[in-house]
Amino acid sequence: MKGLKPYLKLLRLHQWVKSGFVFVGVLFGHGWLDPRLVENVLLAALSFSLAASAVYVMNDLADRERDREHPEKRQRPLASGVIGVTPALMLAGGCLISALMLAQAVSITVLLIVLIYTVLNVAYSLGLKHVVLLDVFIISAGFMLRILAGTLGVGIAPSHWLLLCSLMLTLFLGFAKRRAELNIMAGAGASHRAVLDDYDPIFLDKLISICAAGAIISYSLYTVSTETLAMHGTTNLMVSVPFVIYGIFRYLFLLYRRGGGGDPATALFSDFHLLWALGGWLVTVVVSLI
């Protein structure tokens, strides 16, 4: 790899899709007709994307020795030695400063949320990722903070139902990630990530099932709740439920039958069925709320 390519790979730009959680508030809060609000949400999303890239760089720095033992992660720029420590630190610093400046331009609340996200992930990289269960809850917290940035950070009251659904969904993705890592490392997971020694397939399968069911039930209840009817004047959102169910079931298929599930962003961009489910859900929600 030459030129900018290794640096772009180090930033993991495809992971910026996770900042889509920032738009939950403006979507379900009917805020898309307010140009100023949309602008603030876009800036908040970009801020989180840059902060996430800074975190990924720092995490790759901390994990570069372990990544060399992983069949896929050994190709990462830092693990392969294509990028040195000093350039990586400079890149991470530039991304973080830019993220904080953008967050401050939106509101102090967004700035505080991005700072909390950064501190939490630094703590994760420095040791909390080795604490069983807590490691996945921290991954989930990163998504929840994105939602709060796109709601509380821009003056939109978040729905308790959507927060609950998002919590269950992101825990599902986190435990699926750990299950995929166990599959890939084939019994040698602890040599790559110490916490994998505290997980086993049966335990993770139970957690994944609980979280998948929780996500489906909580979202389904949201679509028909009195709160939804009062806010949107319709329960047509229930039409979007099959897309959610199909997307989760498809992800489980990729995890258990296709060796996937380790990276939600990669799975989304590489699997037509997941893209179709997400697109169908989005179109259905927008049509229902108009």
pLDDT tens sequence across 148-180: 999 999 999 888 888 999 999 999 999 999 999
- Tell me the residue range of the domain where 128 lies: 1-158
Do 98 and 182 lie in one domain? The reply is: no
Same domain assignment for residues 135 and 177? no
Shared domain check, 33 and 136: yes
Number of domains making up the chain: 2
Which two structure tokens, joined as six digits, stand for 200?
């086993």
Domain with residue 118: its CATH number is: 1.10.357.140
Please identify, among 109, 125, 158, the residue that sits at the C-terminal boundary of a domain: 158
pLDDT of residue 63: 75
43 and 116 in contact (C-beta within 8 Å)?
A: no
Shared domain for 140 and 217, answered yes or no, is no
**How far are the Cα atoms of 5, 221, 280 from residue 224, in angstroms, in the given order?**
47, 5, 19
- Under 8 Å between Cβ of 15 and 56: yes
Say whether both 68 and 139 belong to one domain.
yes
Give the separation between CA 222 and CA 67, rounded to whole angstroms: 41
Choice between 258 and 277, residue whose per-residue pLDDT is larger? 277
Q: What is the pLDDT of residues 172-223, one digit of tens each?
A: 999 999 999 888 876 554 455 678 888 989 999 999 999 999 999 999 999 9
pTM: 0.88
Show Cβ contacts of residue 40 under 8 Å, excluding neighbours closer than 6 positions: 106, 107, 153, 154
- Same structural domain, 118 and 197: no
Residue 1 has pLDDT above 70, yes or no: no
